[in-house]
Amino acid sequence: MNVATRPARWCLGLLLPVLLLGQAAWGGARVVDVHAEVRDGVVFLDADLAISPSQEVIEAMRNSIALNLVLEADIAEPREWLWDRRLASGKRRLKLEYHALSQTWMVTDFAARETHTFTDLSGAVASLSRIRAWRLARWEQLDGRGRRLLGRMRIRLEVNKLPLPLRVPALINPAWDLDSDWFLWSLSGERDE
């Protein structure tokens, strides 16, 4: 074994567990799957999300800090020479909060005007991760006869709804990064009758 590579391997051996522990502590969010369906002339979306708040975020929620999340979706017609033409877009606001007095977790879906209560965080996150029957647009608005349509969806943390002292740390600390990349899917231009 070369003496020069021994310190490099030793440093890598120490650094790797720290990086892996840091990744687990960071948490995150992503869109796993989206299904679009046209029923009665309306485009409905079903989405599955993967949301894993970090320990730092969970501790903040246990200290009465609510997480306000926004789910954004667009449907566009792709074009070769110009940017895609957006045909429909929508936002769905969700809130995850902890009530210390009752020791319960609450998930509020403002679009559906529903609030659900859970005894543990895992149940609340599982509920938050399943979006069903989101009414995005009327089919006539898309005018998609025979054309290929593309959809995209993402979830992000509304940093401006956090208390002022947490806003800057939420922007720069990876533990607060609950913004996903855009998830793309294809929507058929023919509707089912």
- Of the options 3.30.1130.10, 3.40.640.10, 2.60.40.10, 3.10.20.30, the CATH number for the domain spanning 25-93+127-187: 2.60.40.10
pTM for the whole structure: 0.79
What contacts 159, CB < 8 A, 6 or more positions away?
Answer: 167, 170, 171, 176
Measure the CA dihedral 133/137/140/144, to 10°.
Answer: -90
Q: Where are the domains of the chain?
A: 25-93+127-187
Q: Which tens digits make up the pLDDT trace of 169-186?
A: 899 999 999 999 999 988
pLDDT digits (tens, 9 = 90+) for 47-61: 999 999 999 999 999
